[in-house]
Amino acid sequence: MSDHYEFPYPSKELESRHPFSVYEHERLSEEVMEAKAKDFYHKMDARRSVRMFSPDPVPQKLIELAIQAASTAPSGAHKQPWTFVATNDPEIKREIRAAAEEEEEKNYLENRMNEEWQEALAPLGTDHHKEFLQVAPWIIVLFEQRYETLSDGTTLKNYYVKESVGIAAGMFITALHHMGLATLTHTPTPMKFLNTILGRPKNERPFVLFPVGYPLEGVKVPDLNRKELNEIFTTVF
């Protein structure tokens, strides 16, 4: 294929109506790309979810930078349909822990999670105790904006909300790991209580709750294996 486009983007007509800029991109050699890719893979392979955090404080600036990195995520129609709500307030963390444990008691002890689900979780050994929610210096709740509400009360649609917020969540986790912090992707479902405790409007729905901090020294994690490339990847030519 030639690099001549019959239908260039943006068209002259489009560019006359909306602003465009030249994308800055440095093309690297394949050797350099492979070295960077291996490095990044090994770095990411070392990420683990932790369930015991150190109480050591973490500056708010670091949380903000991780959220800025997450908010570079692509999103349907560039709506960025997410709100990150962070707290390090001991009383709010206590309330969140209490409400999460109440829901998780029903999930784990009153069989709201069925047997198959509980069996899948068995190697992780998770239960309804969520002490880490009070110990971790920060709790960040990522809310998905199901739709947008304007100041005059009218609403606008958001597109591919779950996909967009899921990508932002992954980038948030990656940013935290990259800077040397740890988190847990936590979903004490149903999570509606987070709207009440954190005072969020009804167009927002809790997506994931992230305790964030340093891992407790010597913390243990399940000895998990990740799928091999040939189990998750195939080619079609």
Ligand X SMILES: Cc1cc2nc3c(=O)[nH]c(=O)nc-3n(C[C@H](O)[C@H](O)[C@H](O)COP(=O)(O)O)c2cc1C
Interface positions with ligand X (CB under 6 A): 48-49, 51, 124, 126, 184-188, 221, 224
Q: Which residues pair with 16 in a beta bridge?
A: none
> CB of residue 222 vs ligand X: minimum separation in angstroms?
7
C-beta of 49 vs 88, nearer to ligand X: 49
Least distance in angstroms from the C-beta of 79 to ligand X: 21
Cβ-based nearer residue to ligand X, 27 or 227: 227
Picking from 100, 157, 156, the residue whose alpha carbon sits closest to that of residue 129 is: 100
Residue number with the smallest Cβ distance to ligand X = 49
Q: What is the dihedral of CA 195, 199, 201, 202, to 10 degrees?
A: 30
- 133 contacts: CB under 8 Å, gap ≥ 6: 93, 96, 97, 100, 139, 186, 209, 211
Return the structure tokens found at 47: 């990420």
Comparing CB distances to ligand X, the nearer of 12 and 226 is 226
Q: Taking Cα atoms as reference points, which of 99, 202, 184 lies closest to residue 144?
A: 202
Least Å from the CB of residue 33 to ligand X: 25
Burial class (CB in 10 A: 0-12, 13-18, 19+), 108: middle
Complex with ligand X: residue 49 or 203, whichever CB lies closer: 49
Q: Hey, what amino acid is at 4?
A: H
**Least distance in Å: CB of 185 to ligand X?**
4
How far CA 145 is from CA of 78, 140, 156, in Å, comes to 13, 16, 11
Structure tokens at 57: 């404080």
Q: How far is the CB of 184 from ligand X (least distance, A)?
A: 6
The least distance separating ligand X from the CB of residue 48, rounded to whole angstroms, comes to 4
Query: Angle at the Cα of 45 (from 40 to 51), degrees rounded to 5?
Result: 130
| Closer CB to ligand X, 118 or 155, in the complex | 118
Instruction: Give the residue with the Cβ less far from ligand X, 48 or 178.
Output: 48
